[in-house]
């Protein structure tokens, strides 16, 4: 005869056993599809591997020409990060070997205090490498890099300074939300709560100053050098100062979803939900959910140099949306959760097909095509971008983990 305690244990075991399966029953993409996309991506990126000099990092492929950067470019961590994700997905040792070759040239950026992008540069690369290999030398790079990033924080402004160039006073861009995961994870790895405190303060200040009433985000907020006073709210990559630059909305969506995961603070979850609803409810969001490069592209005057390219899509924004929405669906319930998850599935399907997925051997070896870097500056217009590939592969891996009953996100 079973005791009440035994019944409770059996019920708990059955609940834990079937919870991932119950969620998986709601999926409309199967493991075969995901594995094929990961396999295709791994095959395609080998083309890029063959074309990339040992000490350089892929940047884009434009007008039939490969464009590379040095390690100090803000995107330098995405290429090794993508290789590591693909290694995790399909287990090809060549991918890990190539990634580790790049880490040798990237490691010196741990001392770079001149950029806020160390989360992109180091956490996407060394963070994944440390998670997958446990190599203690990678831990040292990460911890040193976190201290370098923390040096850009001001307790007066309660935010991390983004740019140190141009005529900006104390510029903070919405992209900076993405570097907070690095700090939050380093707090756990080091036991130093300073990094987590910086991340939380930055996220809270950004909620206060970066968002409009409809929860769309400004690109740049410029603060007074010596006080927390906001001097201006601008754009550097969108249609106009008051427009909603699509990738910027993605940085916000992903950033606040991640900050809820790291802190369990409801304010961050609510912010992510508001941003998600802004994106998914916008009348200018195309039916395939691959956004135009700016949600206000229809407001560009015919006299503008941007007018002819107003309808370009930004696949990099879509990749961000897919990965973030998969995670946000885990923290919400009912029809709201289903909406986020279904939207992520739609984006993944569409990114995995023409015209967004490149044919093998084309597109310079990049996996996806049709991203927009900075249209106002005529920079990286309708080209492949390393971060589009990174977040696309991340979204595929997250979906694969769900199908296999594993946690969607994996910390260090």
Are 186 and 196 a contacting pair, CB within 8 Å? Answer: no
Residue listed under structure tokens 């990961």: 38
β-pair partners for 172? 221
- The catalytic residues are 117, 175
**Cα gap 178→203, rounded to integer Å:** 10
User: Is 303 buried (19+), middle (13-18) or exposed (0-12) by CB count in 10 A?
Assistant: exposed
Residue listed under structure tokens 């831990």: 139
Q: Could you give the angle at the alpha carbon of 124 between the alpha carbons of 137 and 326, nearest 5°?
A: 135
Q: What is the DSSP letter of 77?
A: T
β-pair partners for 136? none
Helix segments in 226-373, DSSP class H: 246-263, 266-281, 315-328, 334-351
* Dihedral sign, Cα of residue 316, residue 245, residue 249, residue 186: positive
**Cα gap 313→113, rounded to integer Å:** 34
3-state secondary structure of 69: strand
Contacts of residue 129, defined as CB under 8 A and 6 or more positions apart, other chains included, come to 80, 84, 99, 100, 103, 135, 138
**Cα gap 28→24, rounded to integer Å:** 9
At 385, list the tokens: 């971008």
Task: Concatenate the DSSP letters of all residues of 99-166 into one string.
Answer: HHHHHHHHGGGGG--S-STHIIIIIIIIIHHHHHH--HHHHHHHHHHHHHHHTTEETTTTEE--B-ST
């Amino acid at each position: 005869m079973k005791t009440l305690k035994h019944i409770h244990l059996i019920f708990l075991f059955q609940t834990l056993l079937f919870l991932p399966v119950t969620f998986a029953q709601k999926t409309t993409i199967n493991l075969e599809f995901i594995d094929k996309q990961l396999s295709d991506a791994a095959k395609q990126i080998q083309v890029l591997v063959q074309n990339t000099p040992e000490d350089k990092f892929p940047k884009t492929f434009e007008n039939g020409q490969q464009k590379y950067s040095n390690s100090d470019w803000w995107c330098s961590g995405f290429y090794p990060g993508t290789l590591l994700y693909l290694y995790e997905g399909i287990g090809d040792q060549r991918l890990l070997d190539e990634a580790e070759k790049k880490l040798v040239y990237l490691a010196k950026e741990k001392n770079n205090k001149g950029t806020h992008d160390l989360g992109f540069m180091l956490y996407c690369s060394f963070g994944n490498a440390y998670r997958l290999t446990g190599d203690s030398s990678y831990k040292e790079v990460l911890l040193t890099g976190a201290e370098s990033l923390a040096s850009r924080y001001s307790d007066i402004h309660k935010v991390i300074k983004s740019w140190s160039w141009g005529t900006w006073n104390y510029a903070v861009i919405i992209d900076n939300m993405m570097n907070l995961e690095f700090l939050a994870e380093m707090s756990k790895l080091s036991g130093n709560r300073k990094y987590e405190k910086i991340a939380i303060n930055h996220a809270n200040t950004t909620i206060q100053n970066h968002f409009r009433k409809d929860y769309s985000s400004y690109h740049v907020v410029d603060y007074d050098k010596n006080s927390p006073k906001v001097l201006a709210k601008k754009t550097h990559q969108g249609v106009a100062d008051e427009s909603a630059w699509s990738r910027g909305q993605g940085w916000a969506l992903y950033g606040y979803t991640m900050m809820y995961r790291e802190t369990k603070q409801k304010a961050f979850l609510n912010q992510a939900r508001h941003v998600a609803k802004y994106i998914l409810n916008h009348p200018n969001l195309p039916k395939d959910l691959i956004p135009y490069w700016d949600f206000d592209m229809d407001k560009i005057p015919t006299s503008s140099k941007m007018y002819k390219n107003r309808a370009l899509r930004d696949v990099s924004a879509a990749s961000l949306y897919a990965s973030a929405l998969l995670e946000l669906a885990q923290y919400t319930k009912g029809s709201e959760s289903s909406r986020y998850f279904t939207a992520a599935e739609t984006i993944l399907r569409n990114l995995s097909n023409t015209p967004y997925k490149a044919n093998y051997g084309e597109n310079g070896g990049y996996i996806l095509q049709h991203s927009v870097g900075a249209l106002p500056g005529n920079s990286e217009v309708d080209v492949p971008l390393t971060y589009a590939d990174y977040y696309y592969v991340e979204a595929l891996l997250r979906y694969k983990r769900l199908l296999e009953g594993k946690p969607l996100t994996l910390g260090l």
